[in-house]
């Protein structure tokens, strides 16, 4: 069987991460994670061994959720407001007394509705043609933001973590069976998209 080189891709680096608006496709970003420099996506898997006759006869695996962690080097006030539900306030006047502020780690911000998310990587197919690879996560329950640093010469890093949960709907809120060849009621954490 021949390998379809145009559909066999490798990703390198990381160019973008964002929270999506929840009503439109993967290109409609609601909150940009500007200056993202690291992202990790790891499934949380359970298993059960069916034992008999002094041996393991079969093994069952299942996915509970996927852990997503993203690190960036900027503090985006609008994104923090989106993730926490808190309101950003501003002095509204230019000059030395101008300021923006937002409450941090409040009791209200611990119970915010899940949101879809995108992680984008530059990639190329096995023929060497440039493409883009996206992880689109349908339903991410975010944890409180974290800070690493500040450190001498490496600055302050902001961490965004959450659990990508199983969902019967895609990032637009549409049931998966409406737009994808899956049975009604199918649930998924997200999808991979390769595009030019």
**Residues 131-152: tens digit of each pLDDT:** 999 999 999 999 999 999 888 8
70 occurs within a structural domain: yes
Establish whether the linkage from the previous residue to 150 is cis, with ω within 30° of 0: yes
Give residue 181's domain range: 5-44+57-87+100-195
The residues, ordered by sequence, that sit 6+ positions from 57 with a Cβ below 8 Å of its Cβ are: 50, 51
Query: What is residue 98's predicted lDDT score, i.e. its pLDDT?
Result: 86
pTM exceeding 0.85: yes
52 occurs within a structural domain: no
- In this structure, what token pair is assigned to residue 101? 């502020």
> Domain total for the chain?
1
Q: Check whether 30 has a pLDDT greater than 70.
A: no
The residues, ordered by sequence, that sit 6+ positions from 16 with a Cβ below 8 Å of its Cβ are: 32, 33, 36, 118, 119, 120
Rounded CA gap, 39 and 69, in Å?
A: 5
Neighbouring C-beta atoms of residue 148, cutoff 10 Å? 12
Looking at the DSSP assignment, which residues form a beta bridge with residue 51?
A: 56
139 occurs within a structural domain: yes
Residue 28 binned pLDDT confidence (cut-offs 50, 70, 90): low
49 occurs within a structural domain: no
- In this structure, what token pair is assigned to residue 90? 């501003």
CATH of the domain at 148: 2.30.110
Residue 34 binned pLDDT confidence (cut-offs 50, 70, 90): confident
Q: Which letter, b or e, does each residue of 9-33 get, where b requires 16 or more Cβ atoms within 10 Å of its Cβ?
A: bebeebebbbbbbbeeebeeebbbb
């Amino acid at each position: 069987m021949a390998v379809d080189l145009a559909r066999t891709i490798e990703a390198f680096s990381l160019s973008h991460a964002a929270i999506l608006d929840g009503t439109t496709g993967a290109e409609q970003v609601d909150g940009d994670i500007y200056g993202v420099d690291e992202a990790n996506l790891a499934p949380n898997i359970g298993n059960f061994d069916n034992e008999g006759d002094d041996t393991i006869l079969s093994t069952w695996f299942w996915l509970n959720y996927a852990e997503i962690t993203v690190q960036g080097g900027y503090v985006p006030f609008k994104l923090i407001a989106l993730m926490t539900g808190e309101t950003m306030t501003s002095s509204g006047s230019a000059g030395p007394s101008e300021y923006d502020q937002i409450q941090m780690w409040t009791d209200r911000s611990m119970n915010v509705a899940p949101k879809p998310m995108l992680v984008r990587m530059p990639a190329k197919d096995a023929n060497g043609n440039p493409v883009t690879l996206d992880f689109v996560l349908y339903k991410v329950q975010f944890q409180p933001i974290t800070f690493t640093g500040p450190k001498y010469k490496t600055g302050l890093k902001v961490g965004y973590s959450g659990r990508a949960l199983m969902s019967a709907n895609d990032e637009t809120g549409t049931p998966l069976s409406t737009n994808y060849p899956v049975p009604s009621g199918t649930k998924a954490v997200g999808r991979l998209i390769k595009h030019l």
